[in-house]
Amino acid sequence: MPSTLSSLAVLINRSIITLEKACSESKLPFPSFDEPFTPASEAFRANPEAEEAAKVIAAAAHQLMMMVLPPSVALYTAVSGEYKSAALRVCLEANVTEILREGGKEGMHVKEIAERTKVNHKKLARCLRYLATHHVYKEVSPDVFTNNRVSSMMDTGKAVDDLIARPEEKHENTPGLAAIASHHLDEVYKAAGYLWESMSDPATAHSFESNETPFNLGLNVKTSFWETIALPEPIWQFRQRRFHIGMKGIAGLESADAILKAFDWRSLPKESVVVDVGGGIGGSSLVLAKNLPDIKIVVQDKPTVLAEGATALWEREMPEALASGRVTLQAHDFFTPQPIKNASVFFLKQVIHDWPDPYATKILSELRKAARPDTRLIIVDSAIPFACHDPSGDKGKGVIGAVPKEAPEPLLANYGVANELTYAADVTMLIVTNAQERTVKHLGELLQSTGWRMTKIVRDHETGSFMQPVEAVPMVKIPVGDTAE
């Protein structure tokens, strides 16, 4: 039998050949690590073989690294995560990526960078060198640094002089990826250090309240994350704008038409009603409305959310849909009885993962009470895989897509770090809101406890690597009881 080391090496070599062949055949070159990121540079992942090969390479290379390093060093690659985060925040807030972009491909000496950032060049050099050691930025010669593909992800695209003159507007009108990174390196990073304190304190250890979280300890606030970022203080107003811009950046990581693959929308009869529950300003519904002219759409959210952008969005993009009544913007609290009783589809995108089970149960229960026998429930969140092989699968329930594609041996069944975003999102929800991403088993139990039966999970790489639409139908009898934690 070949050793695990040999098996990993074979997987890497075989997958590199597959990746390069797929890129060549599709005429989509594999991007250079020294070139800045552009959306077009990710085009090669549209080829399923290339995408799969890239995931296998990443998972195998990381597993190989952790195996061959001395255990103490391997452990410290995890222990030292806070140093990476701290150094990243220094560079992001000091506009280092934009400074290097303006400095050119040859790079800039750290003294020149520091002169523009107004920080100490010796301290900045240590942060940059540490990050370059982890392949974020590149030290091209002693104390001379330049961007690479990873560091360029933090580029707002703005002129450095403008960023320095108006720092409060740094993330306005940007793609949003720097904004979401800044959010994680600020509020989430500060909250993460208190996870143990929150989990070990008898007062909060078993709490799933949204205002009894590590976020509350780390930021020294009494209100939930959602209430806190709505506070009038300038720092929270800035953080709220940055968060919403960052969420748009995350949404931009998936295909614009991914929502069209979440369900067989064209199977709906004419005049069917689709309710976008907690739909924000209606970005997902806008895609549906443009592609499905024969259905009616109701976008539901809080009055303040609708007022802040929904009307403007629809009047700009599809004014005729509002004027004709084909699209309705409706103020609604999803913890209260659902007013739409004739829905063909209740649609919830990245809603349930924001709430712990007791609250998610309330949301789903209210929808079940309003559902018709033929109503479909579509939840778009992450169906988070176990890190091991799951021999039980869907336990013979015949749920299409319930069993995820597993990585080849000897990789972790969930592809390890290649699926990092899913697990990072799960821990983020734990830290910030006491909520979570859910396994298929957990989600199935949650749905069943609220009168819904899971029937399908859409697992298509084009729907986004970290979200899998889940379809459910009403159960004949609504059960009473608690779901599993």
Query: End-to-end CA distance of the chain, in Å?
Result: 41
Q: What are phi and psi of 252, to 5 degrees?
A: -70, -10
pLDDT computed for residue 484 by the predictor: 38
109, 134, 353, 442: the catalytic one is: 353
Structure tokens at 234: 């300038």
For residues 348 and 330, give the distance between their C-alpha atoms in angstroms, rounded to a whole number.
15
pLDDT computed for residue 311 by the predictor: 87
pLDDT computed for residue 462 by the predictor: 47
Look at the block and give the residue holding tokens 């995108």: 349
pLDDT computed for residue 445 by the predictor: 95
CA 281 to chain centre: 18
pLDDT computed for residue 485 by the predictor: 36
Tell me if 352 sits within 8 A of 360, measured CB to CB.
yes
Q: What are phi and psi of 146, to 5 degrees?
A: -145, 165
pLDDT computed for residue 476 by the predictor: 81
For residues 389 and 397, give the distance between their C-alpha atoms in angstroms, rounded to a whole number.
18
For residues 305 and 460, give the distance between their C-alpha atoms in angstroms, rounded to a whole number.
31
pLDDT computed for residue 259 by the predictor: 87
Q: Is 353 a catalytic residue?
A: yes
Look at the block and give the residue holding tokens 């074979």: 10
Helix runs in 175-306, H state only: 177-183, 189-192, 195-200, 214-219, 225-228, 234-251, 283-291, 303-305
For residues 25 and 48, give the distance between their C-alpha atoms in angstroms, rounded to a whole number.
13
Listed as ranges, residues in the chain with pLDDT below 70 are 256, 393-396, 461-466, 477-485
Tell me if 97 sits within 8 A of 147, measured CB to CB.
yes
Tell me if 178 sits within 8 A of 150, measured CB to CB.
no
pLDDT computed for residue 38 by the predictor: 87
pLDDT computed for residue 461 by the predictor: 52
pLDDT computed for residue 479 by the predictor: 57
Helix (H) or strand (E) holding 85: helix 81-93
Task: Find residue 329's DSSP bridge partners.
Answer: 299
The amino acid that residue 103 corresponds to is: G
Predicted TM-score (pTM) of this structure: 0.90
